[in-house]
Amino acid sequence: MNGKNRIKIGTRGSKLALWQANWVISAIKARYPHFSLELVIIKTKGDKILDVPLAKAGGKGLFVKEIEQALLDCSIDLAVHSMKDMPAEIPEGLCIGAIPERENPKDALISKKGLLFSGLEQKSRIGTSSLRRAAQIL
Q: Which residues are catalytic?
A: 85
- CA gyration radius, the chain: 18
CB 128 within 8 A of CB 137: yes
Give the span between the Cα atoms of 6 and 37, in whole angstroms: 6
